[in-house]
Structure 1
Amino acid sequence: MWKLKLSEGSDPWLKSVNNHVGRQFWEFDPQLGTPEERAQVENYQNEFTKNRFQMKHSSDLLMRFQFARENPCEMKLPVAKVKREEEITVEVVDNTLRRTLRFFSTLQTEDGFWPGDYGGPMFLLPGLVICLYVTGALNTILHYQHRQEMRRYLYNHQNVDGGWGLHIEGSSKMFCTVLSYVTLRLLGEEMDGGDGSMEKARKWILDHGGATLIPSWGKLWLSVLGVYEWSGNNPLLPELWLLPYLFPAHPGSLFLHYLQIL
């Protein structure tokens, strides 16, 4: 079962100026949890997959389940159910605020921060996987359970039409659709795997002109992977980084504009 590790760092190569405060990562422990708890976790995963088109975000259910086990908090105060035009008393407001404080206190870590899923951009994970693959460290750094959950994550955020958006609620774009498809293949997914999801993704790419229509940032990643010629990339003079950041041609400004038009 997965366990969220908080504000820890045992790797001698991993340094932090604040003693890892605020750091969070998931670690897989096959011996963790009772059979009932593991079944509950599997149920959360299945429910999210089943309802992924109605609820795009994971709602941090696995984290909340873990915190409820480690830091239980009894909600003995009554739930306020106020009907329309009913007078709201001071007691109702007080009980509601107390329940709210108790609830959020169970989600707070010992060093004060609230962890949560960074469930937004769909263009970050592919870069990590491609880098690990080209350096030959993919299976060393990412164990089977990590690769399995990464595949689940990508499938859960695939749109109905077969593509992927720039973020988990975005409409399908060539940029993230190509990178997500490539990432799934690198993570061990078969060409026709995913109960038809891979075929749908491939069809979306072909129907919209093919992978060569991916934007420049995507072409760069494909070139790093060795499946796209470097000559197909638009060159960028390194001296442009010396310009003031507010200059329209500064790479940083171009990057922000690039994200806006995707």
Structure 2
Amino acid sequence: MWKLKVAEGESQWLRTRNNHLGRQVWEFDPTLQSPQEILQIEEARHSFYHNRFTQKQSADLLLRMQFAKENPMHEVLPKAEVKGIEDVTEEVVTRTLRRATSFLSTLQSHDGHWPGDYGGPMFMIPSLVIALYISGALNLVFTEEHRKEIRRFMYNHQNEDGGWGLHIEGSSTMFGSVLTYVALRLLGEGASGGQAEMEKARDWILRHGGATFITSWGKMWLSVHILSLI
């Protein structure tokens, strides 16, 4: 399964002036989790997928599951009960702040920063996929597990109408829908891939005029891809 590696940089292509402080990378290792932990992760994935139209954010759930094991909360302070303004005493405020800082400390990585998902924009990964594909490096940079997770990410954030937006909470656009559809095909998805998601995506694109209605930035990426096939 996947584990977040923090403040590590073993690649010869990486350069750093601060010993990789703040760097966070997900790495796949099939031996990391126990069967019980794998089941917990699969249940979380299943729950997110079935609630994806109402709960768009992942809330860094996999990261929190990992850190709950690595940074356990040793003391859970009792919750302060406040019924009126007269109950807001110095002791209550202090206890509440201590509860908050105790919780936040469990989400802090060993190098001092708080990792977090930057998964909002939906157009970054398709652009990277196209660039790697035309340079012949797609399968060199992305392992099968990477490609699998990218496909999962894209399907998880497909809108109910079949398209994709500029970001995970955005309404469907031609730019987001076409680039994501193309990226999925380059990642190995067939025209009928997923659970009818590819057909829904194609229907959305065609209903809204087709790929020729994509914005200029999208036309650039499509042109680059087409030129690579000539």
| TM-score interval for Structure 1 and Structure 2 normalised by the shorter chain | over 0.9
Please say if residues 162 and 204 of structure 1, whose CA atoms lie closer than 8 Å, have aligned partners that are also in contact.
Answer: yes
Residue 93 of structure 1: how far off its partner (Å): 2.0
Cα distance change on mapping 1:86 and 1:151 into 2, 3 Å: farther
Residue 17 of structure 1: how far off its partner (Å): 2.5
* Structure 1 match to 2:36: 36
TM-score by length of 2: 0.94
Which amino acid in structure 2 is aligned with residue 134 of structure 1?
Answer: I
* Structure 2 match to 1:167: 167
Which amino acid in structure 2 is aligned with residue 195 of structure 1?
Answer: Q
Deviations 1:44-87 (A, max 9, x none): 11111111111111100000111111111134311234346672
Cα distance change on mapping 1:82 and 1:228 into 2, 3 Å: farther
Residue 228 of structure 1: how far off its partner (Å): 10
Residue 30 of structure 1: how far off its partner (Å): 0.3
DSSP-derived class of the 2:27 partner: strand
Alignment of 1:180-195 (within 5 A): 180-195=180-195
Cα distance change on mapping 1:227 and 1:157 into 2, 3 Å: farther
Task: Give the whole-Å Cα distance in 2 for the aligned partners of 1:97 and 1:106.
Answer: 15
* Structure 2 match to 1:101: 101
Cα distance change on mapping 1:142 and 1:228 into 2, 3 Å: closer
TM-score by length of 1: 0.83
Please say if residues 75 and 99 of structure 1, whose CA atoms lie closer than 8 Å, have aligned partners that are also in contact.
Answer: no
DSSP-derived class of the 1:201 partner: helix
Report which stretch shifted further, 207-216 or 67-76.
67-76
* Structure 2 match to 1:208: 208
RMSD: 1.8
Please say if residues 77 and 95 of structure 2, whose CA atoms lie closer than 8 Å, have aligned partners that are also in contact.
Answer: yes
Which amino acid in structure 2 is aligned with residue 92 of structure 1?
Answer: V
* Structure 1 match to 2:222: 222
* Structure 1 match to 2:178: 178
Please say if residues 2 and 29 of structure 1, whose CA atoms lie closer than 8 Å, have aligned partners that are also in contact.
Answer: yes
DSSP-derived class of the 1:3 partner: strand
| Runs (4+) off by over 6 Å | none
Q: Which has the larger radius of gyration?
A: 1
Which amino acid in structure 1 is aligned with residue 155 of structure 2?
Answer: Y
Alignment: residue pair count:
230
Task: Give the whole-Å Cα distance in 1 for the aligned partners of 2:76 and 2:124.
Answer: 43
Please say if residues 6 and 111 of structure 2, whose CA atoms lie closer than 8 Å, have aligned partners that are also in contact.
Answer: no
Deviations 1:130-150 (A, max 9, x none): 111111111121111111110
Deviations 1:205-229 (A, max 9, x none): 0000000111111111111111799
* Structure 2 match to 1:120: 120
Please say if residues 5 and 25 of structure 1, whose CA atoms lie closer than 8 Å, have aligned partners that are also in contact.
Answer: yes
Which amino acid in structure 2 is aligned with residue 203 of structure 1?
Answer: D
* Structure 1 match to 2:88: 88
* Structure 1 match to 2:143: 143
Cα distance change on mapping 1:112 and 1:96 into 2, 3 Å: same
Which amino acid in structure 1 is aligned with residue 147 of structure 2?
Answer: R
Task: Give the whole-Å Cα distance in 1 for the aligned partners of 2:203 and 2:227.
Answer: 19
Which amino acid in structure 2 is aligned with residue 141 of structure 1?
Answer: V
Which amino acid in structure 2 is aligned with residue 70 of structure 1?
Answer: E
User: Please, which runs of 5 or more residues in structure 1 have no aligned partner?
Assistant: 230-262
